[in-house]
């Protein structure tokens, strides 16, 4: 029952309760320790006083002179009489004389219950020493000193009301308890206010997360300070930026994919509607055209699936690879793309950590793109080089280059140059493969002498 109740409380409430409980515990421990130490000190002080009184009696007994006769004390009763006449009891203290016969005589103001206590008389007739006695709910500390002279025996009894001596201490502890309770309330109120201020960024995070659930991706947290919560707010804002970009890219992708698929579907529907099933030539032509359109849609879906897989951590399986063999193999594979003059610009002898299949896919995509923008016999070069800890692979051509208006968005999805075939996803796939390797792809600045040069920059040690 306790755990569900605690879990139903807010973090602010739990922090407040924890701080208040800890404060109360500390005050209780400190108060108890102070009370025990002061009570012990009081008891030790009382025992020292009682011992002093007994010592004074012994000193008087050693003198052995009655002040009236200047002779030894005639009896223990006379010794006690002289002692009581010379001493005044301390506060809460009483001096008692228990003679051989008769009732006890005392100096001080003892409680009536103590005067009538049979336990006190029993201790007075005992062997002597220090004792503790409870009478009518009050605690007493008692010193008994027997006096023997021949067969005569009397006793000095010194009693101290410990309860009365400790009364100021109890009043002080009561005041301490009241002040402690007020302190706990003040600490709880302050901790609640402070917890509210400290947890305000968390509350804003919760509200922002709820607004995301409602579809609002434009909200951002106002970051103040430089503590851990401020870092959390900055991280959350960065996450919102990435989410907004991802959703925008997703919407853009879906819009473009819908647009690209609508055209072949419209073509398919239109030809099927006008198809003359009784004309074999029309059926054959329509069939050929429909197969072409479905093949185009299949390529589009395949490319979109590839781009979606690029976000997965297992998209790239990097391992140490020979860069020289990679470049030479790329050129050999590219010769089958088109009748061009394929050359190896550079093939350094070194090892890099990369996914050979993915890099081959990206480089052949660039090579195919170069082949579609060059004429028969024109030169297309592939090469590799190392700059520090970066491996650079490139594909260059001598074609017309990338139009200036497309250079800034050439790697965006569904971006096509002029009447280029395909869907404009090739360079997006190249960019995704480079990013999956922890690298980038870029287009060199345009020059009058060359066409287009695309470069992959990849870390030598892998993603």
**What are the pLDDT tens digits along the chain (463 aa)?**
455 565 678 888 888 999 999 999 999 999 999 999 999 999 999 999 999 999 998 888 887 778 888 888 888 888 888 899 888 899 999 999 999 887 888 999 888 999 889 999 899 888 889 999 999 999 999 999 998 877 778 999 999 999 999 999 999 999 999 999 999 999 999 999 988 887 777 777 777 777 766 666 666 767 776 677 677 777 877 877 777 777 776 776 666 666 556 666 776 777 777 777 788 887 888 888 788 777 767 766 776 676 666 666 667 788 999 999 999 999 998 888 888 899 999 989 999 999 888 898 888 888 888 888 888 889 999 999 999 899 999 999 887 777 766 666 666 655 555 444 555 667 778 888 888 888 888 888 766 566 888 899 999 887 7
The answer to whether 316 and 436 are in contact (CB under 8 A) is yes
* Residue where one domain finishes, among candidates 246, 278, 309: 309
Residue 201 lies in a domain: no
Residues 372 and 407 in one domain: yes
Asked if residue 198 belongs to a domain, the reply is no
d(CA 351, CA 347): 11
Choose among 152, 148, 154, 111: nearest CA to 133.
Answer: 111
For the record, the structure tokens of 355 come out as 């996914």
Measured CA to CA, the distance from residue 420 to residue 399 in angstroms comes to: 14
Claim to verify: residue 341 and residue 411 sit in the same structural domain: yes
Q: What does DSSP say about strands 453-459 and 440-443: parallel, antiparallel, or unpaired?
A: antiparallel
pTM for the model stands at: 0.50
Residues 247 and 351 in one domain: no
**Nearest CA-CA partner of 22 in 183, 201, 152, 255:** 183
Q: Which H helix or E strand runs over 386?
A: strand 379-387
Judged by DSSP in three states, 390 sits in strand
CATH number at residue 132: 3.30.450
Are both 299 and 440 inside the same structural domain?
A: no
Do 98 and 124 touch, CB atoms closer than 8 A? Answer: yes
| Token pair for 98 | 């228990």
Q: Exposed/middle/buried for 222, CB within 10 Å: 0-12, 13-18, 19+?
A: exposed
* Phi, psi (degrees; rounded to nearest 5) at 102: 90, -170
Q: Are residues 302 and 324 in the same domain?
A: no
Question: Is the domain of 132 the same as that of 249?
Answer: no
Domain with 358 in it: what CATH number? 3.30.565.10
C-alpha 365/C-alpha 441 separation (Å) is 13
36 in a structural domain: yes
CA distance 216 to 210: 9
Number of domain units in the chain:
3
Q: Are residues 357 and 411 in the same domain?
A: yes
- Beta-ladder partners of 154: 147
Which one of 168, 199, 217 terminates a domain? Answer: 168
For residues 378 and 359, state if they share a domain: yes
Structure token pair of residue 16: 């407040």
- Phi first, then psi: what are they for 373, rounded to 5°? -115, 20
Q: Which of these three, 257, 286, 309, is where a domain ends? A: 309
Residues 292 and 428 in one domain: no
Residues 301, 369: one domain? Answer: no
Q: Is 300 in the same domain as 329?
A: no
Range of the domain at 381: 319-459
Residue 182 lies in a domain: no
């Amino acid at each position: 029952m306790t755990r569900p109740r605690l879990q139903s409380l807010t973090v602010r409430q739990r922090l407040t309760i924890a701080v208040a409980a800890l404060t109360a515990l500390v005050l209780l421990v400190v108060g108890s320790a102070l009370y025990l130490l002061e009570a012990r000190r009081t008891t030790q002080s009382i025992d020292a006083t009682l011992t002093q009184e007994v010592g004074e009696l012994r000193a008087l007994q050693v003198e052995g002179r009655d002040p009236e006769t200047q002779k030894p004390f005639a009896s223990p009763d006379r010794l006690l009489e002289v002692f009581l006449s010379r001493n005044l009891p301390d506060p809460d203290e009483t001096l008692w004389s228990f003679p051989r016969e008769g009732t006890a005589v005392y100096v001080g103001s003892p409680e009536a219950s103590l005067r009538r206590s049979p336990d006190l008389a029993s201790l007075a007739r005992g062997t002597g020493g220090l004792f503790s006695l409870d009478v009518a709910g009050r605690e007493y500390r008692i010193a008994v000193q027997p006096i023997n002279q021949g067969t005569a025996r009397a006793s000095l009894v010194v009693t101290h009301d410990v309860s009365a001596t400790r009364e100021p201490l109890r009043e002080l502890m009561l005041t301490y308890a009241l002040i402690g309770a007020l302190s706990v309330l003040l600490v709880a109120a302050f901790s609640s206010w402070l917890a509210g201020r400290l947890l305000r960024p968390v509350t804003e995070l919760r509200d922002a997360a709820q607004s995301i659930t409602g579809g609002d991706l434009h909200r951002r947290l106002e970051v103040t300070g430089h503590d851990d919560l401020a870092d959390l707010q900055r991280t959350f804002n960065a996450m919102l930026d990435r989410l907004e970009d991802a959703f925008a890219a997703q919407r853009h992708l879906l819009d473009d994919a819908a647009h690209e698929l609508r055209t072949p579907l419209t073509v398919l529907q239109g030809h099927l509607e006008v198809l003359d099933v009784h004309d074999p030539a029309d059926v054959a032509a329509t069939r050929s055209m429909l197969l072409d359109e479905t093949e185009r849609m299949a390529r589009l879906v395949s490319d979109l699936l590839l781009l979606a897989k690029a976000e997965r951590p297992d998209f790239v399986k990097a391992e140490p690879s020979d860069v020289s063999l990679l470049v030479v193999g790329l050129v050999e594979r590219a010769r089958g793309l088109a009748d061009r003059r394929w050359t190896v610009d550079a093939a350094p002898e070194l090892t890099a950590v990369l996914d050979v299949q993915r890099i081959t896919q990206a480089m052949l995509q660039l090579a195919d793109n170069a082949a579609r923008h060059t004429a028969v016999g024109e030169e297309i070069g592939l090469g590799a080089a190392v700059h520090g800890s970066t491996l650079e692979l490139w594909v260059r051509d001598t074609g017309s280059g990338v139009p200036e208006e497309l250079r800034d968005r050439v790697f965006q999805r569904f971006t096509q140059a002029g009447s280029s075939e395909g869907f404009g996803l090739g360079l997006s796939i190249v960019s995704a493969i480079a990013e999956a390797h922890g690298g980038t792809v870029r287009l060199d600045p345009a020059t009058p002498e060359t066409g287009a040069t695309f470069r992959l920059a990849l870390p030598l040690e892998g993603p």
